[in-house]
């Protein structure tokens, strides 16, 4: 498919400005954004940052950074989020004062909960009230705009001078990219942006303001962990939030093999371990399956590599009993916990806490551990073939099989999978085989994050593929226009069950508990009557739209040209009508707690 020279996306070319000695504060702020080496600024325009907008276009020539226009601020942040999940570096998302930031807020929460760096830039109407235009500048000014999102960002600032703006941008990048990573927000006063400068301020050297290298735990803690793991009879490694780095992937495999440890992974997170490896103990899910819980209950030592919700996972395995295994936690995540959002999850019991990201600890453990020759656990079940549906409809498993056939040899990167997916449908063999979910469970994020990830994959040897629900598609659909506009290849397969189906299951659950008619579960849930024509909506935005495909025998014929078009550089939406139904592992997500059931 593409070669690296195809990595650039289409750029709107400004006519050159007349040479001039005039310089504006926003020119110098834009120059600092360029110095941070941020390749794209994803934006929806607004008068609050018209000064900076002008500087990006006319002072910097819409190059390094290049603007990407979005139709909704939520997409600006979601695109930056998806990009960072692949490229491990932040983009800037520029959002208008008050209202733009309000639109962006769910996507900021998603990036926060996913621990992904995004530099959100914003603006305020003139802080000096005497300079405000009547009406709109007052509406679009807030006393403390960062307060809107402060509970789910790492840091924010509203600098009052050019020098302070430079510093704020440097600090924003440094904080966003320090683990646990996350979004930050910098708000520029409209008056400051539009101030004429009498001299050119010197830019600080950005290399002196980088994030620190990852912290390493003390050697005695590594030695202790190594000793427990080597002595363990049935160690289990929970592979959680880890990097997309291939070397780190291989080091995790080496660690598991040296220990003969069983491994569990999670569909909420990007691929962390080869799922077909004999040590991978049970297919991953969005919730802990019974098979995974049984593996965990059997462990005498659990090594959590920044596992998401270690407390809840241990509880799911052990119920109300105390956790019997020794627990080693490797994480810096609690630095993010502020109590507003409960995204910190349950408090896990921990016997040895290594304050570190997984990567340095895995490397040190590999150095400290002598490989043991013990019995290896029995091989884990391999990927299952799709069960024939028999009723003439397409199951998600059948769709997955057809997608596999169509993309064999193209190295697909599964950017996103829908909640109805089951971990046994697809094996992951590389960190870029799957990118995980959206962090905050905010539906509508799928399209934007898919476009952002595809942007980062452009020019690589990877075929970007997002599999999303029809509800997610409809909520976020205008994000795809940016892919068409910028020329970003992407295949989106919509698992279209014509419903917000996840919530039908919740209504069924409640109806059963209350002895009420389950037949009514669909009311208030279905996306039908009229049924949106998803392919037509895609075509209406300049994409290639294919479908709906409703019969199993039509699948291969629809998939092949879709994949071919993406390989040729197109952004394609393939609408597949799937049978409403979820994998069994999702059923644990429907239950609140055992107490609840009583
Ligand atoms: C912004 C937002 N609104 C509502 C929800 C509640 N919710 C969770 S899953 C879901 C259904 C999503 O529908 P779809 O993408 O079609 O997936 P399906 O469940 O049908 O497979 C909804 C509405 C949410 N998580 N986020
Ligand atoms: Mg649906």
Q: Has residue 269 got a pLDDT over 70?
A: yes
Interval between CA 225 and ligand 1 midpoint (Å): 40
Tens-digit pLDDT profile for residues 296-318: 999 999 999 999 999 999 999 99
Residue with the nearest Cα to atom 6 of ligand 1? 443
469 lines ligand 1 (CB under 6 A): yes
State the pLDDT at residue 597: 42
Q: Has residue 2 got a pLDDT over 60?
A: no
State the pLDDT at residue 20: 87
State the pLDDT at residue 377: 58
Mean per-residue pLDDT for 152-168? 98
- Please name which ligand lies nearest the alpha carbon of 471: 1
* Largest separation between any pair of C-alpha atoms in the chain: 77
With b for 16 or more beta-carbon neighbours within 10 A and e for fewer, the 391-414 pattern comes to eeebbbbbbbbbbbebbeebebbb
State the pLDDT at residue 593: 58
Mean per-residue pLDDT for 159-182? 98
Q: Please state the φ and ψ torsions of residue 50, each to the nearest 5 degrees.
A: -65, -30
With bands split at pLDDT 50, 70 and 90, how would you rate the model's confidence at 186?
A: very high
CB atoms within 10 A of CB 227: 12
Tens-digit pLDDT profile for residues 212-242: 999 999 999 999 999 999 999 999 999 999 9
State the pLDDT at residue 200: 83
CA-to-CA distance for 130 and 158, rounded, in angstroms?
19
Q: What number does the ligand 1 atom closest to the CA of 446 have? A: 15
CB atoms within 10 A of CB 460: 18
419 lines ligand 1 (CB under 6 A): yes
β 463-469/412-416 pair status: parallel
State the pLDDT at residue 385: 52
CA-to-CA distance for 570 and 542, rounded, in angstroms?
10
417 lines ligand 1 (CB under 6 A): no
Q: Which residue has the higher pLDDT, 594 or 120?
A: 120
State the pLDDT at residue 382: 56
State the pLDDT at residue 37: 96
447 lines ligand 1 (CB under 6 A): no
Q: Has residue 596 got a pLDDT over 60?
A: no
Tens-digit pLDDT profile for residues 197-217: 998 889 999 999 999 999 999
CA dihedral 141, 147, 150, 151 (to 10 degrees): -140
Q: Which of 75, 106, 443 for a ligand 1 pocket mutation test, highest count of atoms within 8 Å of Cβ?
A: 443
501 lines ligand 1 (CB under 6 A): yes
Beta bridge partners of residue 156, listed in sequence order: 185
Tokens standing for residue 330:
């490797």
Q: What is the DSSP string of 253-276?
A: HHHHHHHT-EEE--TTB---S-TT
Interval between CA 234 and ligand 1 midpoint (Å): 38
- Please name which ligand lies nearest the alpha carbon of 503: 1
Q: What number does the ligand 1 atom closest to the CA of 106 have? A: 1
State the pLDDT at residue 54: 98
State the pLDDT at residue 387: 59
Tokens standing for residue 517:
């008619």
580 lines ligand 1 (CB under 6 A): no
Interval between CA 419 and ligand 2 midpoint (Å): 9
- Please name which ligand lies nearest the alpha carbon of 506: 1
Q: What is the DSSP string of 37-87?
A: T--EEEE---GGGHHHHHIIIIIT-S-SSEEEE-SSHHHHHHHHHHHHHHH
User: Could you tell me which of 35, 18, 17 has the C-alpha nearest to residue 201?
Assistant: 35
Q: What number does the ligand 1 atom closest to the CA of 496 have? A: 16
- Please name which ligand lies nearest the alpha carbon of 502: 1
Per-chain mean pLDDT for the chain:
94
Interval between CA 285 and ligand 1 midpoint (Å): 17
CA-to-CA distance for 205 and 207, rounded, in angstroms?
6
Mean per-residue pLDDT for 400-414? 97
Mean per-residue pLDDT for 56-81? 98
Q: Which of 500, 505, 580 for a ligand 1 pocket mutation test, highest count of atoms within 8 Å of Cβ?
A: 500
β 118-124/183-189 pair status: parallel
Q: Do residues 85 and 54 lie in contact, with contact meaning Cβ atoms separated by under 8 Å?
A: no
With bands split at pLDDT 50, 70 and 90, how would you rate the model's confidence at 5?
A: very low
- Please name which ligand lies nearest the alpha carbon of 420: 1
Q: Do residues 494 and 532 lie in contact, with contact meaning Cβ atoms separated by under 8 Å?
A: no
State the pLDDT at residue 587: 64
Q: What number does the ligand 1 atom closest to the CA of 504 have? A: 19
With bands split at pLDDT 50, 70 and 90, how would you rate the model's confidence at 248?
A: very high
With bands split at pLDDT 50, 70 and 90, how would you rate the model's confidence at 582?
A: confident
Q: Has residue 581 got a pLDDT over 90?
A: no
418 lines ligand 1 (CB under 6 A): yes
Beta bridge partners of residue 122, listed in sequence order: 187
Q: What number does the ligand 1 atom closest to the CA of 442 have? A: 26
State the pLDDT at residue 584: 67
State the pLDDT at residue 327: 98
Q: Has residue 383 got a pLDDT over 60?
A: no
> Structure pTM?
0.96
Q: Which residue has the higher pLDDT, 466 or 589?
A: 466
Q: Has residue 389 got a pLDDT over 70?
A: no
Q: Do residues 392 and 551 lie in contact, with contact meaning Cβ atoms separated by under 8 Å?
A: yes
109 lines ligand 1 (CB under 6 A): no
494: helix, strand or coil: strand
Tens-digit pLDDT profile for residues 511-546: 999 999 999 999 999 999 999 999 999 999 999 999
């Amino acid at each position: 498919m593409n070669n690296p020279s195809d990595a650039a996306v289409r750029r709107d070319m400004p006519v050159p400005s007349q040479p001039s000695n005039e310089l504006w504060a926003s020119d110098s702020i834009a120059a600092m954004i360029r110095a941070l080496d941020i390749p794209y600024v994803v934006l929806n325009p607004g008068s609050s940052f018209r000064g900076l907008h002008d500087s990006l276009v006319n002072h910097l020539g819409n190059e390094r950074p290049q603007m990407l226009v979005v139709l909704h601020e939520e997409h600006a942040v979601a695109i930056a989020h998806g990009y960072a999940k692949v490229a491990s570096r932040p983009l800037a998302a520029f959002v208008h004062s008050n209202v733009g930031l309000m639109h962006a807020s769910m996507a900021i929460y998603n990036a926060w909960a996913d621990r992904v760096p995004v530099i959100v830039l914003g603006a305020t109407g003139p802080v000096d009230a005497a300079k405000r235009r009547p009406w709109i500048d007052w509406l679009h000014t807030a006393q403390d705009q960062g307060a809107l999102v402060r509970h789910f960002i790492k840091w924010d600032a509203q600098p009052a001078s050019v020098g302070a703006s430079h510093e704020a941008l440097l600090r924003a990048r440094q904080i966003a990219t320090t683990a646990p990573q996350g979004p930050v927000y910098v708000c520029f006063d409209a008056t400051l942006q539009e101030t004429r400068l009498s001299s050119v301020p010197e830019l600080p050297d950005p290399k002196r303001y980088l994030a620190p290298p990852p912290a390493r735990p003390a050697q005695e803690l590594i030695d202790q962990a190594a000793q427990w793991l080597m002595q363990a009879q049935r160690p289990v490694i929970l592979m959680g939030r880890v990097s997309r780095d291939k070397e780190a992937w291989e080091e995790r495999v080496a660690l598991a093999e040296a220990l003969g440890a069983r491994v569990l992974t999670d569909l909420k997170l990007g691929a962390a371990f080869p799922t077909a490896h004999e040590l991978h103990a049970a297919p991953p899910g969005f919730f802990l399956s019974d098979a995974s819980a049984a593996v965990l209950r059997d462990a005498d030592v659990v090594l959590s590599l920044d596992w998401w919700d270690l407390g809840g996972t241990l509880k799911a395995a052990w119920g109300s009993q105390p956790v019997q295994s020794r627990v080693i936690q490797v994480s810096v995540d609690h630095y993010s916990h502020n109590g507003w959002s409960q995204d910190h999850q349950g408090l896990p019991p921990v016997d040895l806490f290594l304050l570190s990201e997984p990567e340095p600890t895995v490397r040190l453990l590999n150095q400290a551990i002598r490989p043991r020759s013990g019995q290896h656990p029995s091989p884990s079940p391999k990927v299952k073939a799709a069960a024939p549906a028999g009723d003439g409809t397409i199951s998600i498993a059948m769709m997955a099989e057809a997608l596999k056939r169509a993309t064999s040899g193209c190295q697909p990167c599964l950017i996103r999978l829908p909640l109805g997916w089951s971990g046994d449908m697809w094996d992951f063999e590389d960190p870029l085989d799957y990118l995980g979910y959206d962090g905050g469970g905010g539906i509508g994020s799928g399209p934007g994050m898919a476009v952002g990830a595809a942007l980062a994959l452009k020019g690589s040897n990877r075929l970007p593929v997002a599999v999303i629900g029809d509800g997610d598609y409809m909520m976020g659909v205008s994000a795809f226009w940016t892919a068409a506009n910028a020329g970003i290849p992407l295949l989106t397969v919509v698992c279209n069950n014509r419903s917000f189906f996840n919530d039908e299951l919740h209504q069924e659950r409640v109806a059963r508990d209350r002895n009420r008619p389950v037949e009514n579960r669909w009311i208030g849930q279905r996306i039908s009557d009229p049924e949106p024509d998803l392919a037509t909506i895609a075509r209406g935005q300049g994409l290639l739209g294919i479908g709906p495909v409703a019969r199993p025998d039509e699948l291969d014929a629809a998939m092949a040209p879709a994949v071919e078009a993406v390989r040729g550089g197109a952004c394609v939406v393939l609408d597949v009508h799937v049978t409403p139904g979820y994998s069994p592992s999702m059923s644990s997500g429907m239950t609140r707690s055992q107490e609840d059931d009583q």
